[in-house]
A and B are shown apart, each in its own frame.
Chain A
Amino acid sequence: MIWDATFQFVLIGALLIGATSGTLGAFAVLRRRSLLGDALAHAALPGVALAFLWTQSKALPILLLGATVSGVIGVLVIEVIVNYTRIKADAALGIVLSVFFGIGIVLLTHIQQSAVGNQSGLDKFLFGQAASIVRADLYVMCLVSALVLIAVCIFYKEFKGLIFDAEFLAALGFSPRRVDLLLMGLIVLSVMVGLQAVGVILIAAMLITPAAAARFWTDRLHVMVIASGILGALCGALGVGISALAPRIPTGPVMVLVATGAFLASALIAPKRGVLARWARRRANARRENGQHFLRAHTARQDGQGDAVALTDIAAELQLPRARVHRLAKRLSRDGCVAIHNGACSLTEQGQKEAEFVVKSHRLWEYYLVYRSILERDHVDRPADEAEHILTPEMIEQLETLLANENIDIDIHKTGSGYRRTGDDG
């Protein structure tokens, strides 16, 4: 039953809608037009109703034409309000969104109360009804989608310029204003494609949410655009599939919830930018930091190179509980930096090298701060404490040259004690 012809139309329609709005959404989100898309969609409602009232026709092209006209008028009104009055953009968006929608509701209820209106089925434009897509609708949607996607391919370079640096784009001889208008026009079209199946209230989500999800996976624009398009198409198809199982529930909200699920999943598991990846990285950083503290404490307490230091001493130096220092030591020994025997540990060759690097960067930083500021000696330590873990070898080199120019000599073995301040004030 699911694979009958009607369902195939619906499925193809949903794929088209998702792909189109996903692709354009990537640009809309990066250009900070998310909420404008929302206002535009809400503003389309009175256009749908008026087109019906005028022509008494339910043909999709006519209704969409009406929707486009009133959506564009809505956007223009926002522009006028923002440019010529003291009302700010957020209020202008809210005003146009809600007033146009209110007028739409008036017209829609008026149509429903009248004799012809009962069968108009215009209310599917509120929450969307993918099942109502028929062959003729599909042709219209195909045409508009193809137009939009081809335009994106042709003007990709210009859109990219607009998003990253509009001034540079102008310097290259393109008019940012025109490129912006073109992009806005395409956003309007992609909203219109989805109006019937997703509805005016939620279609903006199909623009915003897949794009925001795609952003987690990549830092490159073309990857993001393609990923967002694919993600949108998948969400569309899945949404339609689910709502086919529960026909009472309108399609729009289901699609949006699927897209939201994709967004949450991306936020969680995407490599690099995802929440889990960032958490793991923070944990690794903290571990490295603790390990380096351990090594520096070891260097401070050891009498000569290669000597063992009792873990209790290190614990005292670090002002940490013994059990924690113990765990630290175990981990460092796994990493091959220290060797533990009888509650004491000594540095291996690798540990020695690592410790030297840490101490060196710490002292370099300390000297730098002391030399460069009127700070008293006792304050220098804490920022140095932080900086030592993050200085890259290049930065260290830079610091060394800097200090060498000032004729400052650094003896890394002269590690004084008290790198961790005890009192609040000296």
Chain B
Amino acid sequence: MLHTVDESITPIHIHDMTVAYHKKPVLWDVDLAVPEGKLVGVVGPNGAGKSTMIKAIMDLVPKASGWVRIYGKPYPRARRAIGYVPQRESVDWDFPIHALDVVLMGRYGHVGWVRRPGKRDRERAEEALEKVGMVDFGHRQINQLSGGQQQRVFLARALAQDAQIYLMDEPFAGVDAATERAIIDILMDLRARKKTMLVVHHDLHTVRQYFDWLVLINMRVVAAGETRDVFTEENLNKTYGGRLTVLSEAAQAVADHRGGL
């Protein structure tokens, strides 16, 4: 590395990380040091590996190489520092469970194995629901909520995790304008409380308005830094331009080569 990173105060430090699905690389050599207290947007075209990066940070997908440090520690030892908002489609909304119980899941990491969440955890969950404006819906079955409301429930769950860092996978996907406003207000509030957020986002129009830091991804990090420096025509062309076909072709070739086909 040419620049040095003070690990213990860096919320997320990714070094030389390559991630492969079924032997096909989807992220090449990511290097990233996310500064504390920023609202960071992760932007790139479909299939660019945005979600994969978030999942790799949390060890949800195996890394082919490289490492990630959370405040200088590997993920398993820093688990409680991270709150997670997965994509809405990642769960079955027909599952028999109430909104409040979903939010309560945010407390499970603090409760630990086998023990039941207590009264305090319940209060925390209710507070979190209140913050996202869903307190009246706590006892609704989750499939009776609108898309925006479901997203708010997920956000409330992350809030209940009481973390330092929040990783959010497309929290604005398919929500109404009111929900988007409500979510962004909460994110701003978290930023004011020095929390760090990594938010996968796909709406280029709102990038400048929402994020103070930006990571542009297309199978590798194209650019990362302050939004005003990074969000340029040239960088966007590099991110969204069709020139990267060689890279995806090579990825396919690597997969075939290793799989022996």
Measured CB to CB, the residues of A under 8 A from B are: 86, 273, 278-279, 281-282, 285, 365, 368-369, 372-376, 379-380, 382-383, 386-387, 389-392, 395, 398-399, 402, 425-426
Size of the B side of the interface (Cβ < 8 Å), in residues, is 31
Q: How far is the CA of A305 from the CA of B128 in the complex (A)?
A: 71
With A382-B65, A383-B29 known as contacts, the answer to whether A389 contacts B257 (CB < 8 A) is yes
> Does any Cβ of A come within 8 Å of B177's Cβ?
no
Residues of B within 8 A of A (CB): 1-2, 15-16, 18, 25, 28-29, 31, 65, 94, 143, 220-224, 238, 243-244, 246, 249-250, 253-254, 256-261
A425's contact among B1, B257, B258, B261, by CB below 8 Å, is which? B1
The 24 listed contacts between A and B (C-beta, < 8 Å) are A278-B261, A368-B246, A369-B220, A372-B220, A372-B238, A373-B220, A374-B31, A374-B221, A374-B222, A374-B223, A375-B29, A376-B1, A376-B2, A379-B31, A382-B65, A383-B18, A387-B253, A387-B254, A390-B250, A390-B256, A391-B253, A395-B249, A395-B250, A402-B246
- Assess whether B29 is in contact with A402, with CB atoms less than 8 Å apart: no
The majority secondary structure among interface residues of chain B is: mixed
| Contact flag A399-B224 (CB < 8 Å), given A282-B260, A387-B254, A390-B254 | no
User: With the chains together, A327 CA to B31 CA distance in Å?
Assistant: 38
Question: Once the chains are docked, how many angstroms separate the CA of A368 from the CA of B221?
Answer: 14
Question: CB distance B257 to A285 under 8 Å?
Answer: yes
Determine the chain B residues whose CB is within 8 A of the CB of A383 once the complex forms.
Answer: 18, 25, 28-29
CA distance A405 to B237 in the complex (A): 16
Cβ distance A265 to chain B, nearest Cβ, rounded Å: 20
Q: Are A379 and B16 in contact (CB under 8 A)?
A: yes
> Quick one: closest A residue to B16, CB to CB?
A379
Additional 17 contacts, C-beta under 8 A, given A282-B260, A390-B250, A390-B253: A273-B261, A282-B259, A285-B260, A365-B250, A368-B246, A373-B29, A373-B222, A374-B222, A375-B29, A379-B29, A386-B254, A390-B257, A395-B246, A402-B243, A425-B15, A426-B1, A426-B2
Describe A's contact surface by its main secondary structure. Answer: helix
Interface centre among B1, B2, B224, B250 (most CB of A within 10 A): B250
B249 and chain A: residue at smallest CB distance: A395
Distance A382 CA – B246 CA, assembled complex (angstroms) = 17
Chain B residues near A86 (CB-CB < 8 A): 94, 143
